[in-house]
Structure 1
Amino acid sequence: MKNVENVILKNIEQNGKLSTSDIEKIKQISEQEGKGLVKILRDENLLNDDDFMEILSDIYRRGHVNIDEISNDLELDIKAFVKFISEKFKVLYFDLDDIDIDYRISEKLSTAQLKTYSAIPVKEDEISVYVAFKNPFDVMAQDKVQNLFNRKLLKVAIAQPTQIEKYISKLALNESIKDVITEIRRELSSSASQGQNSENSGILKLIEIILKTSIQSRASDIHIEPTETNCIVRSRIDGMLSETFIFDKDIYPPMVSRMKLLSNMDIAERRRPQDGRFSAQILDKEYDFRISTLP
């Protein structure tokens, strides 16, 4: 049996939830049939799901197992477990795929810090900053993050571990092109500069990075869209749209304008859909891109 399963069994036995003979039966089935603990408990009707969640959540809160062990080693709906933790311990829950994260808040933390604390700042108001943690019981991580937002009250939330890892990876990718974003902003702020129209402008570099990343991921199409706070780039890979880049919203207008120029579209037209195309050499190969805009 896996470590997390042994820890759970030991706790179940200590709390008298199952008899010694039941524990031995579970171990025997696991050894002979290779079944996981959760499946054995269900198949043998030894413990219902609610009781199991209660036991597991207490073990997790005390730090006897971590969320990665639970996610990787148990046949468990991790989203259901995270929501159970949220409800039982009165911790805020965020589904990071269903909300518009304000990524500007994350600029106060490096990618290394986000990985260390396993946390993603989600939103803020005048008083508080809301941060989703992989482990909402990690007080040391919370103290470190609170120190970085010392003028605001830290509101601790929980999110699915895979979502937190995914968005940290996206922020890491964004961090790797910070110099390009800085160059774009410098060009935008210089009214006398014609940098955006040069063949070596920051916007062109950013477009090339987006195209290169999408080609390497074998994406079939790319979607660039603004939200209330961000500019989000999504790539369709194996039929599924997934976010690849997230920028501040101020990057969207110059990027769209430049792509319209490349595709011989009317830059001033914003009310009607437009179609165009352009060619570019990416990774030593010529590619044709078909562009469509929507109002």
Structure 2
Amino acid sequence: MSTKRNLLILHATVFIWGFTGILGAVISVNAVQLVWYRVLIASLTLFIYFLCSKTSLKVSRKQFLQFFFTGSIVALHWILFFYAIKVSTVSVTLVCLSSFTLFTAILEPLIKKKPILVPDVIIGLIIILGIYLIFKFESGYTLGIIMGLSSALASSLFSTINSTLVQKSDPKIIGFYEMAGALFWITLYRLFDHSLLSEQFDLSFSDWSYLLLLGTICTALAYVAGVSVMRTLSAFRVALITNLEPVYGIILAFLFFGTKETMSVGFYAGALLIIGAVFLYPVYQKRKSLN
């Protein structure tokens, strides 16, 4: 029952994540600013929750450092993700994010010192072929594709780390310290490049509304939910379901942006291969368990 419940939570979370691409496209600030506001709002939201629920934030020094430094990878993932959207489209970025499965198939066994499974490699090769088709037919979005793939690599890395951390710590605590860590590292960067010193905070009403939605529902709530399910689901299984994000995101992008999101036939062939891999793997696993 716990596994089924967590699967439902994960699917709902992935749908919300699919919506973040839409918000990233409509919010007018650049990628670094956008993520800075996002983690600031998310950190404050979680902190207020802990104050109201009188939950202790006490962790060991080792745990604090693990969460805080993992937050830097989370920040990098989001900056690359939103930058990819700004220089390409929501659809291109979300499909590239599906390479998350390929990277997880390699990183999880390496980090957890387990053998790399042949089916995982096969799924990864299908995804590589899909990415190749997208590169070939959407060369005008090369920078966006590279940023999207880099974002997927960072996402795979922190997800694999979190699948280990969540076995010993409260997901809400992990989420808070990783958000705080992300805020710290981005703030440090923005102080270094002087952009924070000239920040006016004079955003439009729509930008503030979208940022609040992004920081609370799409980040604080969704991130904690995404981490919590890892107690019963493997990082690779989470990666597979997370690959439905492009399905939800592309559908939403068409609803919001219409023809702006229209791509070539080659793009859709590549996207179909990548997304098809999401459904192929569970079918293989089910048949294998029956034999």
TM-score interval (norm. to shorter): under 0.3
Greater fraction of residues in strand: 1
Choose between structure 1 and 2 for higher RCO, CA contacts under 8 A separated by at least 6 residues: 2
Structure 2 length-normalised TM: 0.27
Structure 1 length-normalised TM: 0.26
Greater fraction of residues in helix: 2
